[in-house]
Every structure is written in C-alpha cells, then in structure tokens.
Chain A
Amino acid sequence: MQKTVLVVGAGPAGLAAAAGVAASGAQAVLVEKAAKLGGTPILSGYAKLVPSGEWARDAMGRMIKRVEESKNVTIHKETKVTKLAGEAGKFTATLSNGTSVECASVILATGFTHFDSINKPEWGFGTFEDVVTTTQVEQMVAAGKIACPSDGRVPERVAILLCVGSRDRQIGREWCSKICCTVSTNLAMEIKELSPTTDVFIYYMDIRTFGLYEDRFYWKSQEEFKTKFVKARIAEVTRSPDGRLLVKGEDTLVKRPIVIPMDLVVHAVGMDPNEDNPEIARVFGVGLEKHGFIDRAEHYTNTCGTTRRGIYAVGAALAPETIDDSISQGTAAALRAVADLNALVQKSA
C-alpha cells in the first residue's frame, strides 16, 4: 500500500497540489523538468500578477518556500517521468534521473506552452525587432523600463494586438486563452506607469475580462489610464521608411482601412497545449481532447479526473487557465488523491 502521490510539474497548479498532499500528512513527490520551481510565471519572468498585483517572484516564492520547507515533499528538478507502470493504487514511476517512485495516484500539472508568434509571420514577429510578445513586455516591466528593442527609445505609441495564437481557425487554434485580455489591459496600465506620455492602443475583436476583472482591469485601464480600444483585427505589420512600424487592418467601426504608425507592437500570445502533451499522453496513458490539452473526465463527481483512473490533471494542462484557478484545481486534486489513499487504507483494514 502506497502513501505517496506523484505530482508532475511545479507551476502554480503543481505547487498547490504538492502542498495540499503534504498538509494532509501524505507524501508528495514533485517532478519538474526545469531547473527552477514556480512554472511559467517564474520561468518566463512575469511582472505583477493579475489580479493580486503582487510580483510573480514574491507570490510564487511563497508557494515554492512552502513545498521546499515541507518534510513531506521530495523534489526532483530537471527531471521527467519516463515510464509509468501498474494501476490506480499501485503505480510505479520511473524518473529520468533513474529514481523509481511507488505511488497510489498521479497529478499532472504540466501546464502550457506559449504560442510561438513566428507562426503568424504577417504580424511581424521575428522580422521586426520592435514587434514583441506580452511575455517580453512582462520582463521589461519587471526590469522597470519600457523601451523599443531596436534602439532603446521609449515608445510614444504601443499597439497591443489581442488573440495572437488564439481564436484563429487558420492556425488550428479554436480556443480563447482566457487571461490575455485581462493581462493586456493590465500591461497597458503598467506601461503608462513607467512612461506616462506613451499612448497605448489595444486592437481587439472582443474584450473578455470576465467576472471581477471587468472593472478592476478593463474599466480602470480605459478610464484611469486612458488606454484606447480599437475594434480591428490587424491584418499585417510592416515598417515605414522612417523606421516606425505600421499596423494595417480594417477599423470595423469606422469601416475604413487603417495604416497607423506605432513604435512598439505587442502580441498578446495565447496558451497552447504543452508541447510535451503527446509524450505525456503516451507515458501516462491519458487521452488528449481535440485541441491537444489533456482530456477531462466528467467533472461533477470525478473532479480533476482524466481518462485514466488514479491520474488527475490540473491547471493549464487541461485548458487555458488562470493562476488562481490553477491553484484551486491543484488543491482540489490533492484532496482527491489523498481520498484515494484513504480508500486504500480502509480496504486493507
């Protein structure tokens, strides 16, 4: 009988799951392929998080400290699971560092991969230095300076293009990445804080700042920070002879083509399924849904379940997800995994 839960991935979801398992008195083995814990917010150097406004390094830092200091959590960094044998209640996992782990259940918290903007060449990423992604702007904000990569000047105008790599049948991405609207309205405010004379334009099809993010981010960005919202999906980004960028598209409200000069163009990149998902599906024997995220069981009574008994999935591994909800799911899956352990204990008694 195993008293151990295997958690794969140490982002917000996995850190919450490991902490939940440990707090209930069971053992968690946390396997993370990167050299650092904290997941995407740390690995990609995010600035202040939505909605707390806390720096990613502080918020994630507390989650990391909690598992690192727990005597019930064993951590393997720069490690992957290469094989999983057995069945629910008695799995044996083989790790890439040679360790073998006996566990009753598995929580997959393997997250997502950023959309690679190179796949939308018409929007200029990879061609023009001053076309960047939200991830790069997060890093600029974290470093305290907003500047055009080409020559270091402070941009007079920034265009943020929403839904880059989301909601686009042309590139097989038929989902909304859920958080990029809120993150973009927030980044616009952060840009204005660093450079009050910069004008920020958000080019949108819809603004999806759901729930309480509506007034805290969308309205605040528009009303207090004067972010301008333009209803247009940009068709092309080019460069004008003076070196500035030109965004071209149709302003659907004016019903006119636009060619507007900008200094910095930001792609609000979406959340793709983790590029490891085919491998994860093979190693763990779980199914993937049609977009390539890990497939869910029915959620009502098999919360966080996958297509395989004893294996749970949480956070952005399942679908584009926010940090807060990833954490809640991690905690929920910990409860399910520990309930599995208790059921085994009762059975053997």
Chain B
Amino acid sequence: MAIHEKTLIDAERLQTSDNLVLDGVDVSGHWNTMVLPRYLTDYDTDFARQIRTFSGGENVHRCWQCGSCTNSCTVYAQNTDFNPRYWIYLTNLGLKKEILKDKDIIWTCVSCNRCTNICPKDVKPEGVMKALAHWLEEEGHTPETKSSIFDNEFLGQVYATGRIEDTRVLVNFLRKTNQSLTPPWLIEIGKRMTKYFPLTFLMHMGLHLVFKPRTKSWGRTGEVLREYVHEQKEIARKARAMPKEAVHV
C-alpha cells in the first residue's frame, strides 16, 4: 500500500489510474495513486459581491470572524459541520469550491436568528445562509428546495385567481414533492377541524377546491404580476452577472 491512511485525505484529491507511466517507468498497480496538493490557488474576487445581490446577503463583507454566530447557532450545537462563520469567510474570499463541499447542509439553517441577534458587526448571518442557499439553487448546485416548490405553488395560484386555497396549495405541494397526500399530521388536523369548525365554513372549503373561485375583476392582474416578478428576478440576475468594471464594489 502506497498510502496508508487514505481516510485522512479528501476523496477528491486521490487520483488513481489503471495504467500510468512516469518518465518511462511503468508504475501501474497500487503504486500509482497520487495525492493532489491541498493548496488554495486563487480567490474569486467577485463572489462576495454576487452573494450581496441576494436578499439577506447584503452585509456579508462586514464579518470579522469573531465566531459569535457559530457559537450561538442552534444547528451547530447538533452538527459542528454547520459553521456560518466559516462559510461567511469563504464567501468573502471567494473560495467557492470550499463552500460547495458543504452544499448539502447549508440549507439546514432553522432561521432562529440567534446569530443575527448576537453578531457585533451586524452581518445578519441568517440572511447570508439564505442567500447562499438561493445561490446554490440558482446555480443548480442543489435541487429546487421544498420551500421554493411551495413558494411557486403559492404564487401560481395568486397569479391565476388572485387568491389562494390553503387546501389546494397543500395538496399540490405534497404531490409535487412526491409525498403522501394523507400524512398522519394532516389527518389529525382534518379531524380537529371537523370537530371545531362551523359546518358552513367546511362546505365552502370543499366547494372552493372544486370550483376554483377568482377574485372579482382580477382580469389581467395576474399576468401583469407574473411579468413584474419575472422582470425583478431578471434584474437581480443581471446585477449578479455584471462585469466588475461596471459595479465598483
């Protein structure tokens, strides 16, 4: 064995090829496992600016790495790999590859805002977690999150009818996320509602599920709204992609 403690090395830095010839010497076999260096070789100097264009990320550059956020963090107490201070540092230096290593846990922030309440530089780390999660999603590093699916279902109904039907939002959301339409908690809610809610109200809910009522004179409002939201998103997206010369920050 050429490398005794492979567990100490990130898997991505280990490279093995079936056939390898170095300087005319055939080193095929277990001697040809190479370890790539751990050096960080560059910063993406525009990355922090891009994160600042997401809602919540505006103050990320203020961080001075005191660690108060991580120390107070609800999730960190359960999982020490969840480290807002560290991701904020990586963001500011543009060490994107390092952030991507943690892409599957950044979204687990529970938005308790303990970090935001304690941060001496008013960085709003909770917002940065959101901004990072949105960036990961927008760039396709993470699949569309459940909360985005929910938001889109919700907005879709508003565009179409000018109102939302709680039951339909829920049912469609459960469908789109491949979840059972009758999870135990929903059945429990249903039971309690039939027990305490006035009958006429429940009838209305049932009817609305079938007939999809619209807000009066909603007309083209939904379309206009949809266009506006789309435009705003495009503006934000363009601002992120802007060349550095044009933004000066």
Interface residues in chain A, defined as those with a beta carbon under 8 Å from any beta carbon in chain B = 157, 196-197, 199, 201, 207, 219, 222-223, 226, 228-231, 251, 253-254, 256-261
Contacts and interface: CB of A to CB of B under 8 A. Distances in A.
B38 A257 contact: yes
Interface string B19-39: 000000000000000000111
Given A199-B45, A228-B92, A222 B64 contact: yes
B98 A253 contact: no
Given A197-B244, A199-B45, A226-B249, A256 B39 contact: yes
A80 to B, nearest CB: 46
Interface of B: 37-43, 45, 48, 61-62, 64-65, 86, 89-90, 92-93, 95, 98, 121, 244-245, 248-249
A229 B40 CA distance: 16
Given A228-B92, A251-B93, A254-B90, 10 more contacts: A196-B248, A201-B43, A207-B64, A219-B62, A254-B89, A254-B95, A256-B39, A256-B40, A258-B39, A258-B40
Contacts of A256: 38-40
Contacts of A261: 42
Interface of A is mostly: strand
B144 to A, nearest CB: 30
B245 A223 contact: no
Contacts of A229: 64
Nearest to B62: A223
B93 A230 contact: yes
A253 B89 contact: yes
Contacts of A201: 43
Contacts of B65: 231, 253
B62 A253 contact: no
A251 B248 CA distance: 26
B120 to A, nearest CB: 11
B248 A259 contact: no
Contacts of A197: 244-245, 248
Given A196-B248, A226-B249, A231-B65, A253 B39 contact: no
Contacts of A257: 37-40
3 closest A-B pairs by beta carbon, nearest first, are: A196-B248, A258-B40, A199-B45
| Residue of A157, A219, A253 contacting most chain B CB atoms (<10 Å) | A253
A333 B156 CA distance: 78
Nearest to B249: A226
Given A197-B245, A254-B89, A254-B95, A223 B61 contact: yes
A228 B41 CA distance: 17
Contacts of B86: 253-254
B240 to A, nearest CB: 16
20 contacts: A196-B248, A197-B244, A197-B245, A199-B45, A223-B61, A226-B48, A226-B61, A226-B249, A228-B43, A228-B92, A228-B93, A229-B64, A230-B93, A251-B93, A254-B89, A254-B95, A257-B37, A257-B40, A258-B39, A261-B42
B41 to A, nearest CB: 5
Nearest to B89: A253
A196 B249 CA distance: 8
Contacts of B89: 253-254
Given A230-B93, A253-B86, A254-B89, A222 B61 contact: yes
Contacts of A259: 39-41
